[in-house]
Amino acid sequence: MLGAIEAGGTKFVLAVGPSPDAITARHTIPTRDPATTLAEAAAWLGSHGPLTGLGIGSFGPVELDHASPEWGFITTTPKPGWAGTDVARHLARSLGGVPVGFDTDVNAAALAEHIARGGAEGGSLAYITIGTGIGGGLVLDGRPVHGMAHPEVGHIYPRRHPNDRDFAGTCPHHGDCLEGLASGPAVMARWGASLSELGADHAAHAIIADYVAQACHVLFASVAVEEVVIGGGVAQTPGLVERIAARARELDAGYLPGGARHRIIAPRLGTESGITGAMLLAQGAAAGA
């Protein structure tokens, strides 16, 4: 039996099952203080029999370097109480020494989307989530990318849209980075409503699509992914992913090698990418990968 956790800032989604495509039970708990939340997660997972592997896709920033004594920790998050929290090793101990696979929530989702489209060895894609914040995970040549820590695609600086010059942005670190301009709170701060609530002809749609399209273009041009998968609550706004794809084609102007093979799409797994990715991490851990 495999166990999985999609660890988010507001909720933890827990799941168990014999394989990543066969989740047999799931449970959601609110994210409270670390001790309470991790104890609740361990109790539920432990009640489903001994696990052979546990996968965790976590909000971050997180430590992914296996050589670090803080591997598996949430590191510098502004979320109260969670900075410096040992998640992976703590849960491994609580669950009888189960092998743990640990990655960012968005890398887990990217891995799941990669597998969902066939998992080709040389395949590459990015997964961006647009919600309360903006995060991005990368699978290049079939493997999740960590780099020095992990990518933070949400914090690149897009060129400002001509009809959106004055908004200072909501990112506490950068102001008008991508997250500060295009996350759910940034939409709310400018227009007092979500994109879905604003009519489809509202100027906000084109502005947000432009910023996200710029990020997609950066990913196509810098790391040569074939596909950008766009998930998260804001991305469920009807028509938004199509607008982003159309704007990215305009921005590229026919230059990039590979041309029409580049795709910007909604998640193949809908809202299941994150927890499925955590199951895949569990499978990898159980296999000793």
Contact range with Zn ion by CB under 5 A, out of 75-83, 86-94, 171-179, 211-219: 171-179
Q: How far is the CB of 215 from Zn ion (least distance, A)?
A: 12
Tell me whether residue 165 or residue 173 sits nearer to Zn ion (CB atom).
173
Q: Work out how close the CB of 183 gets to Zn ion at its nearest, in angstroms, rounded to a whole number.
A: 9
Beta carbon nearer to Zn ion, 27 or 155 = 155
Nearest approach, Cβ of residue 172 and Zn ion (Å):
8
* By CB under 5 A, residue 171 contacts Zn ion: yes
User: Coil, strand, or helix at residue 124?
Assistant: coil
Choice from 54, 111, 177, 216 touching Zn ion (CB under 5 A):
177
Q: Which is nearer to Zn ion, 38 or 171 (CB)?
A: 171
Q: Report the alpha-carbon distance of residue 131 to residue 207 in Å, rounded.
A: 16
Q: If you ran DSSP here, which 8-state letter would residue 277 be given?
A: H
Per rule CB under 5 A, is residue 26 in the interface with Zn ion? no
The residue (of 9 and 119) whose beta carbon lies closer to Zn ion is 9
Q: Which amino acid is present at 23?
A: I
Q: Does 174 bind Zn ion (CB under 5 A)?
A: yes
How far, rounded to the nearest angstrom, does the alpha carbon of residue 140 sit from its chain's CA centroid?
15
Query: Quick check: helix, strand or coil at residue 111?
Result: helix
Q: Looking at the chain, list the stretches that DSSP marks H as alpha helix, in order from N- to C-terminal side.
A: 34-46, 88-94, 105-116, 178-182, 184-191, 203-223, 240-252, 273-286
Q: Quick one: 74 or 116, whose CB is closer to Zn ion? A: 74
Considering just the CA atoms, what is the radius of gyration of the chain in Å?
19
Assess contact for 283 and 98: CB atoms under 8 A. no
Q: Is 167 in the site for Zn ion (CB under 5 A)?
A: no
User: What is the closest distance, in whole angstroms, from the C-beta atom of residue 155 to Zn ion in the complex?
Assistant: 4
The secondary structure of residue 131, as a DSSP letter, is: S
125 binds Zn ion (CB under 5 A): no
**Which residues, 6 or more positions from 32, have their beta carbon under 8 angstroms from its beta carbon?**
none
**Range 147-166, binding Zn ion (CB under 5 A):** 155
| Cβ contact 77:237 at 8 Å | no
Residues near Zn ion (CB under 5 A), total: 6
| Residue 56 is a binding residue for Zn ion (CB under 5 A) | no
CB of 178 to Zn ion, least distance (A): 7
Residue 146 interacts with Zn ion (CB under 5 A)? no
State which residue, 153 or 278, has the beta carbon closest to Zn ion.
153
- On whether the CB atoms of residues 149 and 61 are closer than 8 A, the answer is yes
174 vs 190 by CB, closer to Zn ion: 174
User: Is 8 within 8 Å of 25 (Cβ atoms)?
Assistant: no
Decide whether 66 or 173 has the Cβ nearer to Zn ion: 173
Alpha-carbon gap, residue 126 to 259, rounded angstroms = 17
Closest approach, Cβ 182 to Zn ion, in A, equals 11
Using CB under 5 A, which residues numbered 179 to 238 contact Zn ion? 179
Q: Are 130 and 234 in contact (CB under 8 A)?
A: yes
- In the numeric block, the tokens 């827990």 are attached to 14
User: What residues line the site for Zn ion (CB under 5 A)?
Assistant: 155, 171, 173-174, 177, 179
